[in-house]
A and B are shown apart, each in its own frame.
Chain A
Amino acid sequence: MLAVDVTTRRSGFELDMSFQVGEDEILGVVGPNGSGKTSLLRIVAGLDPAMQGRVLLDETRWADTGAGIWLPAERRSVGYVPQGSLLFPHMTALDNVGFGMTEPEKALAWLERLGIADLAGARPAELSGGQAQLVALARAQARSPDVLLLDEPLASIDIANRASIRRTVRRELQSGRQHRIFVTHDPLEAVALADRILVVADGRVSQIGTVEDLRRHPRSRYVAELLGLNLFAGTARGGVIALADGAVLVAAETPDGPAFATVHPRAVSLYTSRPSGSPRNIWRAPVTAIEPSLERVRIEVGGSVPVVAEVTPEGARGFREGDDVWVAIKASEVQAYPR
């Protein structure tokens, strides 16, 4: 078990996080750029000091500011794949992998394992972003570290090779018994690779849980947006959630007391005139934005209860920004849970 509980502060930036990663677990840290993801990895790796707190690997204290303990990176059993690979430019791929090994002659086996043995003699300048990433992964794994840290492992990979490299990275990530943390700004990547997801915002843990946990019960607008959900907060009683400024949302089922509610954008219907059917939630509000994508069109509706709808391109015809529309949501599509 890797237990992290650290606080640090740098000019205008504060980081305060507490979480644990089990052996055998892959934790995906997701958050916007500048939210402190890389800083977190560097503290765990021992490259930057934490101002306060502890980093424990099972019984071993890597850092414990209260006890004045701080192990430098070279004394932690950690593998670090930084963003952009950062291979040693004056060494071949093979020598990069062998650098940290007690038996460098076994370096080739690691390249073979990641399917890049043919690149053994190449210099980093001759490698593509994806190839460099695999070499960097082999280099970090060659020491069989207890903790593996990856910073945006798929960010610098050209689209053409993305799928195959992603496959290799995933296979490598999922094969060992290790505490693994990877950082990404891309929620899809996190969902695809992680066992659990830690959402970071402004240097804090916004939410942590399995993809299912997050999808079912997002606890912040940011998490909901990451997962593409509409999130509402209010006070629930007997199937009715009272939102801010007097609006209400009717759900099939609600807890009593403070509650969140999510609605999938595809469950939001839009009409140019008042619909006649059975939806329990109907209101009128102006369209604030229309964003076409490949299969669906996202339409943002303003008013006192802002909401996002996803409709087919055909369904989107007839709506224009600034026009008032009718919004309808079935009670059965409103998922409510305690705050």
Chain B
Amino acid sequence: MSIPRRLGILATVGIAGLVVPVVGLIVRTSWGRVLSDIGDASSAVRVSLVVSVIAVTLAVLTGVPIGWVLARGRFRGRTVLRAAVLLPIVLPPVVSGVALLAALGRNGSFGRWLDGAFSIGLPFTTAGAVVAAAFVAIPFVALVAEAGFRGVDAELEGVAATLGAGPWRRFRRIVLPQAAPALAAGIVLGWARAVGEFGATITFAGNLPGRTQTLPLAIFFELEQDPAAAFSLSFVLVVISLGMLLAARRAWMR
């Protein structure tokens, strides 16, 4: 099918706007030092890996059930609940950080209780960085999982029930296999989001190398100290993100 010329022109402008910065980054990257720059940033790489993997694990454990509730739940206020759950996707990350501080900070309503009851303080800890990353990753997983679950005919579960399958077996044997590609895509997107998290992390968890300084934070500070290293690390993140997008797309389209 042919594309109307006006749409084509606007799309071209938009694509250029999206691609040019990335091309600029690639051009500025000094290839010879990418590996050594990653080595120098190994603590940030490690923090990013630990934080994002734990965050995405939390996101799967909670986001998938949330997606299920949103897809199949029949109750009042579901629309409002969905909006509330998906809010972090559209919220400016720094606002997420402020909100986390307000709730889980040392003086936060919930954080004060955590501190008093368990002596748990989240700000300035790796756990805090995990919370910040999970806060933005969970909605992604939930959103994609909901779409995946919606794609599974609910009548099939009814048939499975008449064949003696209880709720958990129906979920595991009928729903999960059919929603698996969507869930895989959701996990990848949620992970990408967790790796890339910056605003909420620096606001809520602070910036300490080896503990809360993730790759994006390291890049931010490296830009002054050693801009070339910032370009190297940014390039690495671009490659990782692109890879994850392609993987998600493959999983989604399968």
A6 at the interface (CB under 8 A from B): no
Q: Is B162 a contact of A46 with CB atoms below 8 Å?
A: yes
Q: Are B173 and A99 closer than 8 Å at their CB atoms?
A: yes
A307 CA to B174 CA in the complex, in Å?
54
A72 within 8 A of B: yes
Which B residues between 115 and 169 are near A, CB-CB below 8 angstroms?
A: 153, 155-156, 158-166
A45 touches B163 (CB 8 A): no
Task: Encode contact with B along A53-87: 1 for CB under 8 Å, 0 otherwise.
Answer: 00000000000000000001110101110100010
Of residues 159 to 202 in B, which have CB atoms within 8 Å of A's CB atoms?
159-166, 173-174, 177-178
Residues of B within 8 A of A45 (CB): 158, 162
Taking the complex as formed, is A228 at the interface, i.e. its CB lies under 8 A from any CB of chain B? Answer: no
From 21 to 75 in chain A, residues with beta carbon under 8 angstroms from any chain B beta carbon are: 42, 45-47, 72-74
Given contacts A74-B166, A82-B155, A99-B173, contact A90 B178 (CB under 8 A): yes
Give every chain B residue within 8 A of A86 (Cβ-Cβ).
Answer: 153, 155-156, 159
Say yes or no: B162 contacts A79, CB within 8 Å: yes
* A residues near B162, Cβ cutoff 8 Å: 45-47, 73-74, 76, 78-80, 100, 140
Q: Which residues of B contact A100 (CB under 8 A)?
A: 160, 162-165
Asked whether any CB of chain B lies closer than 8 Å to the CB of A123, the reply is no
- Give the interface centre of B159, B160, B161, B165 by most chain A CB atoms within 10 Å: B159
**A295 CB to closest chain B CB, in angstroms?**
41
Establish whether residues A73 and B161, one from each chain, have CB atoms under 8 Å apart when the complex forms. Answer: yes
Quote the shortest CB–CB distance from A93 to chain B (angstroms). Answer: 14
* Given the contacts A74-B164, A78-B162, A79-B162, A88 and B155 also touching, CB distance less than 8 Å: no
Q: Judge whether B161 and A72 touch: CB under 8 Å.
A: yes
Verify B164–A80 contact, CB threshold 8 A.
no
Residues of B within 8 A of A88 (CB): 156, 159-160, 174
B163's partner among A42, A90, A139 (CB-CB below 8 A) is A139
Between A78, A88, A89, A140, the greatest number of chain B beta carbons within 10 A of the residue's beta carbon is seen for A88
Contacts of B155 in A (CB 8 A): 82, 86
Give complex CA distance A45, B157 in Å: 13
In whole angstroms, what is the CA distance A322 to B189 when docked?
71
**Is the beta-carbon distance between A46 and B161 smaller than 8 angstroms?**
yes
Cβ contact within 8 Å between B160 and A99: yes
Chain A proximity of B166: nearest CB distance (Å): 5
| Cβ B165 vs Cβ A74 within 8 A | yes
- In the complex, the answer to whether B165 meets A99 with C-beta atoms within 8 Å is yes
In this complex, the member of A46, A86, A140 whose beta carbon has the largest number of chain B beta carbons within 10 angstroms is A86
Contact B159 A80 (CB under 8 A): yes
Q: Does A339 contact B (CB under 8 A)?
A: no
Expressed in whole angstroms, the minimum distance between the Cβ of A71 and any Cβ of chain B is: 11
User: Known contacts A86-B153, A100-B165; is A73 also within 8 Å of B177 by CB?
Assistant: no
CB-defined contacts of B177 to chain A, threshold 8 Å: 90
Question: Contact mask B235-252 → A, CB, 8 Å, 1/0?
Answer: 000000000000000000
Q: Which among B161, B163, B164 has the highest number of chain A CB atoms within 10 Å? A: B163
Residue contact B178 to A74, C-beta cutoff 8 Å: no
Q: Does A266 contact B (CB under 8 A)?
A: no
A99 touching B161, Cβ below 8 Å: no
Nearest B residue to A42 via CB reads B158
- Decide if B161 touches A47 in the complex (CB within 8 Å): yes
Interface residues of A (CB under 8 A from B): 42, 45-47, 72-74, 76, 78-80, 82, 86, 88-90, 99-100, 139-140, 143
- Chain B positions within 8 Å of A, measured between CB atoms, are 153, 155-156, 158-166, 173-174, 177-178
In the complex, given contacts A46-B162, A99-B173, A100-B163, what are 20 additional A-B residue pairs having Cβ atoms less than 8 angstroms apart? A42-B158, A45-B158, A46-B161, A73-B161, A74-B161, A74-B162, A74-B164, A76-B162, A79-B162, A82-B158, A82-B159, A86-B156, A86-B159, A88-B174, A90-B178, A99-B160, A139-B163, A140-B163, A143-B163, A143-B164
